[in-house]
Every structure is written in C-alpha cells, then in structure tokens.
Structure 1
Amino acid sequence: MQTHILGYPRIGSQRELKKASENYWADKITLKELLETAASIRKGNWELQRAAGINLIPSNDFSFYDQVLDMTMVVNAIPERYHDVILKEGKTELDLYFAMARGYQKNGLDITAMEMTKWFDTNYHYIVPEFTKNQKFKLFSSKIIDEFKEAKREGIITKPVIIGPVSFLLLGKEKGEDFNRLDLIDSLLPVYLELLTQLVAQGAEWIQFDEPYLALDIDEQAKATYAKVYKAIHQHFPKLNTLVATYFEGLRSNVDLAVSLPVKALHIDLVRAPEQLISVLHKAPIDLTISLGVVDGRNIWKNNFSESIEIIKMAINQIGEDKVMIGTSCSLLHSPCDLDHENKEETLTPIIKSWLAFAKQKVEEVAQLKKLVLGNATTGLEELSANKHAHEIRQNSSLIHNADVKKRVSNIIESDARRGSKFEARKVAQQQVLNLPLYPTTTIGSFPQTKEVRSWRSQFKKGSISEKEYNELLAEETSRAIEWQENIGLDVLVHGEFERNDMVEYFGEQLQGFVFTQNGWVQSYGSRCVKPPIIYGDVSRPEAMTVKWSTYAQELTDKLVKGMLTGPVTILQWSFVRNDQPRSVTCNQIALAIRDEVEDLEDAGIKVIQIDEPAIREGLPLRESDWKEYLDWAIKAFRLSSSGVKDETQIHTHMCYSEFNDIIESIADMDADVITIECSRSQMELLDAFVQFNYPNDIGPGVYDIHSPRVPNKSEMEELLIKAKNVLPEGQLWVNPDCGLKTRGWEETRKALVEMVSAAQAMREKVAASVE
C-alpha cells in the first residue's frame, strides 16, 4: 500500500515565492535570485515529504504563477499577441510567462493579460487557455522535465503531476471561429506522448494526470475523448504507472467511464464524496488500484483517524492491500503550509490549535494512516487515542456553541429576506435622495495598501505605536483619499479601507466564532496570498465593525461615501469553515451579523452600502443537480443581510471572475440595487448573460482589469462602455474598475481612475449631444 499527496503548497511557509516574485517584477532582484528561491522551496517540499515517509512524492506541483498557465507554456498554446515580448524585447521564457499572466506595458508594447477565472469551486484562480480552430501544439517549456531531473539529483524519483489533456482543453476557451475545443485533441495528444517519452527516458515510473472534469457533468464527446486519450497513452506506454486524479466531487454518472480507463490507478475524493467509494470498489476491474483521498486538502481540521481507517480497511477487504493507495483528497495547494509556525497563544489558543492540521501535518497524517492500518493491534494506540480525544473535546466544547445565536437563526422568517418595495420603486426613491448622473462613477472599495500603510499596521500590532497614533495615521490617509476622489470627479466615493488587512479577515476579527493564524497563508492567484479565518463556532457580532471609518469619511465630503462590507457567502467561502454543522446554518449566522452592521450604517447616515459577494458563483456545486439547494440558501443569506434597510438606501454588491449565464436568475433574485462585475478581461462577454435574461437592476461592468499593472487609456474604457451601452440601457450602467485596488500601486491607480472618469464624462457628452 503506497502513500502519496496530489500536490503541495508552492508559496513557501513564509511566502518566500510571493516576496521573490514581486521583487523580481520590481527589478529589485535578478532572475538568478528568483530561480534560487524557487529551487529552495521545491527542495524543502520534497525533503519534508521524504522525511514523513511518503512513497510517491509529486513534482511539477510547483508553479511561479499557475499550473494551468504552466501547461499552456509546455504545449506552446501561447497566444500570438505575446510573441513580441520575446522577439522584440529579448525577454526570457519566464518573462513571457509573466506577461501572459499580468499583461505587459513597456517600450511601446501594450499587451493585455489572459483571462483569469476561479479553479472550480475554490478561491484559487487560474489563467484561462485560449484556443483557436485547427491550433497546432508542440513542446515548448521543459519545466516538467527539468523539475523531475532536479528531484532526481536529490535522490527522489518523483511522480510528475500533469493536467490531463482532456481537462486542459476543457479549462480553456475557444477564440475566433466557432468550433469545439475538444476537436483539438488530435493535435494535442502527440505532444503529451512526446512529453511522456522524455519523462520515461529520465526514469519516471509514475505519472499523475489531473482530470477534475471527470467529477463534473460532461457530454458524450468529452467521454469519448477520455476513452481515446487514455487508450492511446496505455498503448504507447503499457508499463508506465499512470494515475488519473479526480477531486472536488464524486464520479457519479462518470464512474463507469473512470474505472474503465486503462490506467494503473484512479484517485477519488472521499472527503467531498465519501458515498462514491462503494460504487467505485464494486465496478473497478481487478487490476485497477484505487487511491483513497481521505485526508482533507481543502480544510484545516485534523483527520479523524478512526473514520479514515474504517474506509481504508473496507477498501482493502474488497480489493486487497496492494490495490489501495492512501492520499489527500486534492492538492494541498488549498491548505496553509505548517501549523508549527503558529506559536502565539493569543492568536490561536492551544485547544483550538489541537483541532487543526495544515499541509505539513496532513502529509504526516497520510503516512500515519498507513502505519495505523498495517500495524499490529498495539501499534499506534497512543496516536489513535490522542486523535480520538481531540475530536471528542472539539465536539463537546462550550467554545463552539452559543444558544442565543442558534435561537436567532431558528426564528428567521421569509419576510426578513425581502426588501420593502420592488426595485423600480426603490430606484425612484434613491434617485431623489442620491441625485446621480448618467454613467455614475465609483470604485469597488479598497485603495492601494502601500508599504507605509502595512508598516503602520505592523507597528501597531507589535506595540511600537499606540492605537491613537495608528488611528491618526489612518485618518490622514483616508482624508487624502477622499480629497483626491473629489478632485478627479468620482461620483460615489469610498473611504479606501486602509484600516483593513483583508476583506474577510477584517470582519472575522470582529466577529465571535472566528479565530486567526499568524502564517496560515494560501495562494489565491500569482503572488496574491490570503490568510483565511477559521470559523470554529457559532457566529455573532458583539459591536459595530465599520461605522466609525465610514462615518468619518462621510463627514469629510458632501459627496456620497459607500459603506463597505463583505457578504455572508463570501465570508463563508473564503474562510476555513467548521465541518460539524451544515454550511447553510453557518452562513445564516454570518448573514444576521452583517444585517446588524447594514442597519447601523444606515442609522449613521450612510446612504449607499456595498455588500461584496464575489464568491457566490464560486460556491456553486460542481454538479448541476445540486445547484438549487445551494442557491436557495446562499441567495437567501445575502438578502437576509441586505433587506433590513429603507427603500432610499442603495444596496450594491460586487462579483468578480465568475460566469453568470447559468445562474443569472439567482443573481437577479439577490435584488441588489447595483451589481458591479468583472468584464474587462473578457471584453464585456459576461454582459451577454445580463442581456439575454433582461436583468432588471443597475449594473457596473468593470472597465479595466486591476489584476494587471498596465494602465488602460480613456478610449479603451470608452470602447468597453460603448459595447455595454449597445446591449444595456444607459440608465442601468455604472462605471467602475472590475475589482478593488488594494494590490495596485498609487501611480497606476491615479492614472487609471482619471482615465475612467474621463471615459464616463465622454459617454455623458455623447448622450447630451444626441439629445440636442
């Protein structure tokens, strides 16, 4: 029985890769220094797994930005617009790679970044491959080979992790002529076969093909493509140990297809879909090894050894010990690196820490489970007893239960989740109070968190400056931001959120039922890392969280200032959530806390309140048959948080990097007065959903991409607004960036927003001219 993991975090336990990448982009370190940091992280990850006793250690789970972009480079699916970065600028392969992810704006070249979207139902983002009809592929980047050889020099024969060819095509988008991207398999497959030839020549014994689409609803062409691809791979490499990995959901209707593939092993996620094991074991051919994903790669709770051992032994009894592997449910990319780095009891109490396991500890759990299953009656009794004790303490702890919160949730009635009037009546009432022009301009909320701002926060936490000094510095920064917004002519201002560390963490710190880590960082995209809160118990709001800074900012100006909140679904999705009650119950607890905050903001005179919900689409189950149940409670939770205000109070929400077509009715049912969405990278493609459905409320389609450092000009944004105007009434349109500006620098932010305001003014002038 072998042990393995599907992948390990690549950011480094102290976010070394983030820091090195950003320093490289800022020309503060050399390419050699960046590569040395990456090599050190890879070596550390491999050594950690070897020391723990993992049998099959993955390689190519490391990435400078994103594993899908890596595969795009490997097979040379590089869009033509990026070729000049190499040909004219003389840049390296890695610079080309970063240009595809981040855009490129130097020396007369102005190239937009590739589209980015969520990795299934996670908060990780991937760079979307672009495919054209009759596209040809070839081996370009040698990354997979290089990293295998690198580990081999350390004495480790790794299991290269490769995005399977079918999922790679399905993860992308067709560009240009109408065709099906799966039609490209005949061009792509030979490149995969060539790659495997080189890996086998180097001594590779196992290959992991990540095929998450096998756990989704797929059509007959996709199913036929799977059968064709893995038949060809087996014919060319009959002795190669191939493992097809599925995760995030059960195989369900695809179980017959999955077990029939001519591969050595099939990995299934038994955390998300434990019920699939019986069907898989029953239908698996006699020579198929089943990899049991029993250690949770998506959450931070300690594994329940007793339950996992029962699952593993059941599999052994049916198919034999030699046909069973033990692994993580998915890649540990989605887990923080190492619980050992959490050493502040005031941040994470010892009792709650005893309930947790991060990536390093999960690796150890995989190895421990093998020892516990294969040992004799007395082997591991102490470990098993300690594990059982930790689970019993957590289950019965008074820390997690609050009777008042439970009662309040049980008393929710339908009218609590409905506004007083329909949108049409609310819009009239709001316009009388707000008096906004056509194409009103605003931003999504946050402004750049400069080195100085982060330094103030750090000094305050360390006690180097007092709370009074810290608040004075924040007040000065907020005042400057308000004055600057007034000067450039924005219509609805924001206070800039300089007091906030993260849009979820900030709220979690003020809510009961949450706890925080020092170093529990997880990659969101590229160098962007987040530190998700841990929801361990019932959630409530002891006191107001944002009223102080919102009212301070509003007192500085006669213009409208938005109150800025994070919505209940996003707080849920972007936290590590307790797994001892339904997520819907936890979400309603959060919604009631946010509802209290919304009502306090309104009482304090804030007339526009934004409740961000970028994670609504992210939380959608991967199987369509499960959507209704989720959408019913998720949309209701948002309405519960937003419906306690008067008609005159304008409620905004924001969503980014989401495909809305298939859930547009539910988005409309959120009944936000204004929804702002990401549209710039897709060149307003996302608006199609709102047009076909005849979306009734106001929309702010983002007119520039804040995840790229390039600065768009007025005409570029005006062109996007014209596209929007051609499909939506002008009276519905707002003008805004596609997301918050926290991660950007002030220089590019100032330039871009001045251009954005000019574009909105130009659109108003067009309207005035047409009336004359």
Structure 2
Amino acid sequence: MKSIVLGYPRIGEKRELKRAIENYWKKSISSEELLETAKQLRMKNWMLQSDYGIDLISSNDFSLYDQMLDMCITLGCIPERFSGIEGLDQYFAMARGLQNENIDATAMEMTKWFDTNYHYIVPEFIKDQSFNLNAEKILQEIREAKSVGVEAKPVLIGPITFLLLGKKKGDGFNRLELLPFLLPIYQELFNLIAEEGVEYVQIDEPILATDLTSEQQAAVKKTYGYFAENKSRLKIILANYFDCFGENLSLALELPVEVLHLDLIRCQLQLDDILSHPLFNGNKILSLGVVDGRNVWKNDFKRSLRLIEKAKKKLSKDRIWVGTSCSLLHSPINLESEIGSDRLNPQIERWLAFAVQKLQEVVQLRDLASGSFDDRLYSILEQNKRDLQNKQDSELIHDQNVKQRVRALTDNDSQRKSPFIKRQKEHRKTLNLPILPTTTIGSFPQTKEVRIFRRKFKNNEISQEEYDAFLLNETKEAIKFQEDVGLDVLVHGEFERNDMVEYFGERLNGFAFTQFGWVQSYGTRCVKPPIIFGDVARPEPMTVKWSAIAQSLTDKPVKGMLTGPVTILQWSFVRNDQPRSVTCNQIALAIRDEVNDLEEAGIKVIQIDEPAIREGLPLRRMDWEVYLDWAIRAFRISASSVADDTQIHTHMCYSEFNDILQKIAEMDADVITIETSRSKMELLQAFVDFKYPNEIGPGVYDIHSPRVPSESEMEKLLLRASELIPVENLWVNPDCGLKTRDWPETKAALVNLVGSAKKMRERILQFS
C-alpha cells in the first residue's frame, strides 16, 4: 500500500515566493535570484514530503503564477499579442498584462478553478491553433527532485480539462477540434518524461467531475486511447477531484490508465459504485483521496479506515493507495507555525490539520490500513478519537440564541418592502445621481504605510488614538481625492481592514484565525481564510464607525461596504458538523444586523459583496437548485430589512453568470457590479438575453493588471455596454477593489474612468 499527495503548496510557509516575485516585478532582484528562490522552495517541499514518508511525490505542481498558465507555456499556446515578449517577461505579461513605451498587451482572462477560490489564467484558442512543446520546466524539475533523492511523478493538466476550461477567440470552430493537434504534443512530452526514468505521470482531469456531453465523453475516450496506442513507458494516474465521476464513471473505468484517483471527501459513495461496477475488475490501482485537501479539520481516522477496508475486501494491498483528496494547494501549510501565537485558541488548534499535518495523516492512515499495527499506531488512533470527541463536546461551538434565531426565520425576512421599480424612483429622488453614475468597488490601495500602522497597532506599539488619527487622515485624503476627481458615489477606502473576509470574521463570534495560515488565491495574492468552528453572531457593530465618519466629510453619498454571507462562508474554512446552509444563515443574520445599523447611521448606499455566489455552485447541474435556493435566500436575509430609499449594491467578479442569471436576478440587489473589462463586455450579452431588470455596473478597468487603461479605451467599453443595457440602468466602475494597486496608477486610472463617463454623458445628450 502506497501514499500519494496530488500536489503541495508553493508559496512557502512565510510567503517567500510571493515576496520574491513582487521584488522581481519591482526590479529589486534579478530573474536569477527569483528562480533560485523558487528552486529552493521546491526542494524544501520535496524533502519534507520524503522525510514524512510519502511514496508518490509530485513535481510540476510548483508555479510562479498559475498551473494553467504554465501549461499554456508548455504547449506553446501563447496569444499573438505576447509574441514580441520573451522569457519571464512574457510569462508575467500573459498573467498581468504589460504596458510600456513599446507594448500595450492586455492580460489573459482569469476565473475560478472549479468551485474553489483559486483563480486560473484562461487559455485562449483560435481556429487552427498551433501547439509547440516547451518541456524545459517539467524536465528540469524532474532532475531537481532526483538531485535530492526524490523520484517524482510530474503533474500535468489533462488535455480535455485544458481545452474545455479554455476560451475560443473567434467563431467557426469547436475547442475539441484542436484535440488532434494537441495530443501529439502531449505524447512527445510523455516520451521525454519517460526518458528521464520516471515511472508515473499524474494527469489531472477534474473536468470529469462535471456534466460532459456525449461529444466530450468521446473526446476523453479518444484521448486516452491515443495515449495507450502510442504507449510510452509511463504509467498514467488519472486524477479526478472536487466531486464524483458521476455519469462519467463507466467511461473512467474503461480508460486504459493504470491508476484512478478518487476524491472520497467530496464523494464518499463513489467507492461503493466502483467496487460493485461490472467494468471494475481489480486490475487498476485505486488511489483513495481520504485526507481532505480543502479544509483544515483533523481527519476522522475511523471513517477513513472504514473506506480503505472496503477497498481491501476487493483489492490486494498493492492496488490501494492512500492520499489527499486533491492538491494541498488549497490548504494552509503548517499548523506548527501557530504554536506560541495568540491568534489561535489551543483547544481549537487541537482539532486542526494543515498541509504538513495532512502529510502525517496520509502516512499514518497508510500504515494503519496496512496492518502493521503497533503501540505507536494504536496511540495515534486513540489520540485521534480523543481529539474528535473533544471537538464534538466543546462548549465553544454552540450558541442556543443563534440556533433559535435561525429557526425563527420566515419568508418575510428575505423580502424587500417594495419591488425594484418603486425603489429605483426613491433612489433617484434621494441620491440625485447623474446618468452613468461613477463609483469604485470599495477598497483603495493598502500602501506600505497603511500596513505598517496596522501592524504597529496589532503589536501594541501605538495606541488606539494614534491609530485612529492615522486612519482618519487616510480617510479624509481618500474622500477629498474622490471629490476632486469627480466620482459620484464615494467609499471610505477600507484602510482599517485587512482582508474582506478576515476583517469581518475577527468581529464575529464563532470564527478563529491564524497568523501564518496563508493560501494562494491567484498569482502573488494570498489570503488567510478564517476558520468557522462554531455558531456565528455579531456582538457589536463592525463597520459603522468609519462609514459614518466618511459620510460626515462629504455631501456625496458614501457606500457602506460589507462582505456577503455566502462569500464569508465560501472564503472560510467551514465547520463540518452541520449543513453549510445553516452556517450561512447564521452569517446572514449577523450581516443583516450590520446593514440595519449602517442605515440607522445615515448610510443610504450599502454594498454587500458576493463574488463567491457562482464559485459555490456545485459542479453538477442536478445539485444546483438546492444550493442556489439557500445561497440566494441568505443574501436576501442580509439585505432585505432596509427602507425603499436605501440602495443595496452587490459585487461579483471573475465568474460566469450565463447559466444562473435567474437566480442572480432573484437576489434583487438594486445595483450589481461585475468584472467585464478583460472579456471586453462579452458577459453583458447574457444580461441582455435574460433581460436583467435592475441596474448594472460592468467593470471598465482591470484592476488585476498594473497597466492604466486610457480614457478612450474605457469609453469604447462604455459605448459597447450602452448598446446592450439601457443607459439609465448603467453604472461606471472598475472590475474590483483597488486594494492591491498603487496610488499613482489608481489615480490615473480613475481620472480616465470619470473622464470616459463624462464623455459618454455628452454623447448621450447629443443624440437624445
């Protein structure tokens, strides 16, 4: 019986990779220094896994930005606009865009990796797309691993997942038509990998966890048939995760691969389905993903061993592997880093396992299931039982008042007082905004100075009065800048906040926090997801103070800025002892209380961000309705208590809405702001086809790129939007918050944004 890990976090325990990359962007270090840092992190990861006893360790799970971007480079799938750029500059230009005196290349699109908060770079395909192999990174990492005694299995994004998650540029072709051009490139890569003496290659095809058409299923069959016919010496581990094989199970069992990996966290029942399936004859190895790669709770050894024992009744031990459900990319790195920190309650710490601890769990489960039972393993098993029982019995988890409040919810709690058409008239009277009103999504740049003052306050190096004085000055400057530039609905800038979920979790009961529990969201963007361990309640107002102060500084409306219940849920590590819908309703009631207090303080525009609504959608359509019903209801519970003349905004970014627009409309937000700049307003067509009834702010400025869009560029996007959406329902705004940008580019971009709106207003008046 072997142990397997599908992938390991690459950012480093102290975010060493993030700092190295950002220093490279700032030209503080050379490319050689960046690549050396990356190499040392890879080697540390391999040696750590080897030392813990992992049998099958991954290579090529490391990336400087994103694994799908890496696959684009490997396969030579590089859009034409980047052809004049070379090396790392080209790589990062594809991810972030590049703007200088010679080049103005927009970044490739970015969206969520299935139902996670990890963002991937979306491959772009044109008709008759050509592919060319660049195997340098993959082969180099194989050799690096060997140099420290690790015989690694390279991880590759599978060809079907790569094609189906990519995007066509232009009409007249089907992405799967590119498969005949792509498969020989993969086969050439397999041959080169085999020449390095590698035994196994892991091919990630999580697209098999989704609903596939018969054409797509046929493409899967063709792909792996092709690999079998052109057989290299490599053995294929076909990795599916995030859900069951479902309707693709028979197809998967027929594929000529040596190993099938199963996610038994998301889909425990599929093991029974496979073991009893007529196509399963025991010739394949089953890799059992029994250790959760996406949550932080200690593994229930009794449950996991029960699943492994089922497999042992049908398979010999050498045909059973024990592993993680998916890559540990989605997990914080090391719980031991929290020892001595005052952030995490030691009792809660007892219930947790991060990536390093999950390596231990994989090996311990392998040893326990292998039958080599001794006093050490018996002690480990008994300690696991005690820790789980301690969690179940803990008084920290339960709040009867919260439970009763959720039970008392009725349909009236999720209904606005009047329909949108009536509310819209009230807003126009109360807010007196121009046509095409301008605003931002909420946050302004979190400068080095802001972060220093926050750290000093946390470390008790400055007093509350000194910190408040600093925040007040930052807020005053932000309000003045917005007034000077001519924005219509202002924001206070969120200088007192760290992360849009962490900030709220720190002020809610039922949440725990780490000091070093970083997880990669995209590129160098890392977050520390809160841990929801118990019933959620709001003991006191969370945002009213600074929103009210900002409103007192201007006659223009200032938005109250909140994170919505579904996003707080999705971007946290959620307790696993009750339905997620119940936890979501608890959060919704806490946000509802905050909305009421903001309104009472005179805030007439309140934004409740829900970028994770689409992200939380189950991978199979048959499961959508149940999720969407409780998710949309939770948002409405948070937003529906306000008067008609209070305007509710929501924000969503980097999501495809086409197939759930009915539910988005049922959220009944007065204004929805969305990301559309990278796609050149393509997403808006879905809102038009659906006849979306409320107001929309399609983003005209890509904030994830350092380039500053010109006034004419944004005006073109606005003109396109005005052709699709009635101008009386249009807002003008960036794609997302400006927290990660610098002030000079932010100011320049917002000047252009307001200028484009003014020119559009003149155009509208001219032709009206």
TM-score by length of 1: 0.98
Distance 2:674 2:214 in 1: 33
Tell whether 2:736 aligns with 1:739. Answer: yes
Tell whether 2:25 aligns with 1:25. Answer: yes
Partner of 2:246: 252
Partner of 2:213: 219
CA deviation vs aligned residue, 1:543-591 (integer Å, no higher than 9, x gap): 0000000000000011110000000000000000000000000000000
SS in 2 for 1:548: helix
The alpha-carbon deviation at position 236 of structure 1 amounts to 2.2
Tell whether 2:19 aligns with 1:13. Answer: no
1:159 is matched with which residue: 132, 153, 163? 153
Tell whether 2:380 aligns with 1:414. Answer: no
Paired residues of 1:678 and 1:739 also in contact (CA < 8 A) = yes
The alpha-carbon deviation at position 237 of structure 1 amounts to 2.3
Distance 1:467 1:280 in 2: 60
Distance 2:167 2:314 in 1: 42
1:313 is matched with which residue: 293, 306, 309? 309
Paired residues of 2:257 and 2:284 also in contact (CA < 8 A) = yes
The alpha-carbon deviation at position 238 of structure 1 amounts to 5.8
CA deviation vs aligned residue, 1:32-91 (integer Å, no higher than 9, x gap): 1101110111001000100000001100000000000000000000000001123xxxxx
SS in 2 for 1:400: coil
Partner of 1:633: 630
Distance 1:756 1:138 in 2: 40
Structure 1 segment 45-444 matched on structure 2, within 5 A: 45-86=45-86, 93-237=87-231, 239-283=233-277, 284-379=280-375, 380-444=377-441
Letter in 1 for 2:7: G
SS in 1 for 2:63: coil
Partner of 2:542: 545
CA deviation vs aligned residue, 1:452-508 (integer Å, no higher than 9, x gap): 000001111111111111111011001000001000000000000000000000000
- Identity within the alignment, %: 60
Letter in 2 for 1:741: L
Letter in 2 for 1:21: I
The alpha-carbon deviation at position 430 of structure 1 amounts to 1.0
2:498 is matched with which residue: 494, 498, 501? 501
The alpha-carbon deviation at position 770 of structure 1 amounts to 1.7
Partner of 1:765: 762
SS in 2 for 1:307: helix
The alpha-carbon deviation at position 688 of structure 1 amounts to 1.1
Distance 2:324 2:161 in 1: 20
The alpha-carbon deviation at position 374 of structure 1 amounts to 1.6
Structure 1 segment 483-498 matched on structure 2, within 5 A: 483-498=480-495
Distance 2:451 2:675 in 1: 27
SS in 1 for 2:83: helix
Letter in 2 for 1:52: Y
- In structure 2, runs of 5+ residues without a counterpart are none
Tell whether 2:528 aligns with 1:531. Answer: yes
Letter in 1 for 2:59: S
2:582 is matched with which residue: 582, 585, 604? 585
CA deviation vs aligned residue, 1:675-705 (integer Å, no higher than 9, x gap): 0000000100110110000000000000010
Partner of 1:89: none
Distance 1:459 1:108 in 2: 42
The alpha-carbon deviation at position 285 of structure 1 amounts to 2.8
Letter in 2 for 1:95: D
The alpha-carbon deviation at position 592 of structure 1 amounts to 0.1
Partner of 1:666: 663
Partner of 2:710: 713
Paired residues of 1:714 and 1:759 also in contact (CA < 8 A) = yes
SS in 2 for 1:208: strand
Letter in 2 for 1:357: A
CA deviation vs aligned residue, 1:280-321 (integer Å, no higher than 9, x gap): 122223311111000000000000111101111110111221
Distance 2:218 2:146 in 1: 36
The alpha-carbon deviation at position 376 of structure 1 amounts to 4.0
Structure 1 segment 670-689 matched on structure 2, within 5 A: 670-689=667-686
Distance 1:662 1:219 in 2: 16
The alpha-carbon deviation at position 377 of structure 1 amounts to 4.6
Tell whether 2:541 aligns with 1:557. Answer: no
SS in 2 for 1:460: helix
Distance 1:249 1:603 in 2: 44
Distance 1:60 1:237 in 2: 22
SS in 1 for 2:737: coil
CA deviation vs aligned residue, 1:115-152 (integer Å, no higher than 9, x gap): 00000000000000001111111112511111111111
Tell whether 2:752 aligns with 1:755. Answer: yes
Partner of 1:90: none
The alpha-carbon deviation at position 178 of structure 1 amounts to 2.2
Letter in 2 for 1:220: S
Tell whether 2:615 aligns with 1:621. Answer: no
Distance 2:274 2:167 in 1: 32
Letter in 2 for 1:541: R
Paired residues of 1:259 and 1:285 also in contact (CA < 8 A) = no
Partner of 2:443: 446
SS in 2 for 1:49: helix
Letter in 1 for 2:435: L
Paired residues of 1:260 and 1:285 also in contact (CA < 8 A) = no
Distance 1:178 1:666 in 2: 31
The alpha-carbon deviation at position 107 of structure 1 amounts to 2.4
Paired residues of 1:14 and 1:519 also in contact (CA < 8 A) = yes
SS in 2 for 1:247: coil
Distance 2:619 2:209 in 1: 8
Partner of 1:458: 455
Letter in 2 for 1:232: Y
Paired residues of 2:565 and 2:638 also in contact (CA < 8 A) = yes
Partner of 2:37: 37
SS in 1 for 2:132: coil
Distance 1:208 1:303 in 2: 24
Distance 1:601 1:163 in 2: 47
Partner of 1:574: 571
CA deviation vs aligned residue, 1:319-352 (integer Å, no higher than 9, x gap): 2211111110000000001111002453101110
Segment of structure 1 superposing worse, 604-613 or 364-373: 364-373
Paired residues of 1:60 and 1:144 also in contact (CA < 8 A) = yes
The alpha-carbon deviation at position 174 of structure 1 amounts to 0.8
SS in 1 for 2:343: coil
CA RMSD of aligned residues (A): 0.8
- In structure 1, runs of 5+ residues without a counterpart are 87-92
Distance 1:60 1:522 in 2: 18
Partner of 1:697: 694
The alpha-carbon deviation at position 239 of structure 1 amounts to 4.2
Letter in 1 for 2:348: I
Letter in 1 for 2:27: D
Distance 1:303 1:725 in 2: 53
SS in 1 for 2:452: helix
Distance 1:689 1:281 in 2: 43
The alpha-carbon deviation at position 222 of structure 1 amounts to 1.2
Paired residues of 1:281 and 1:319 also in contact (CA < 8 A) = no
CA deviation vs aligned residue, 1:14-46 (integer Å, no higher than 9, x gap): 000000000000101111110111011100100
Letter in 2 for 1:330: C
Distance 2:170 2:342 in 1: 56
The alpha-carbon deviation at position 437 of structure 1 amounts to 0.4
SS in 2 for 1:85: coil
TM-score by length of 2: 0.99
Paired residues of 2:341 and 2:515 also in contact (CA < 8 A) = no
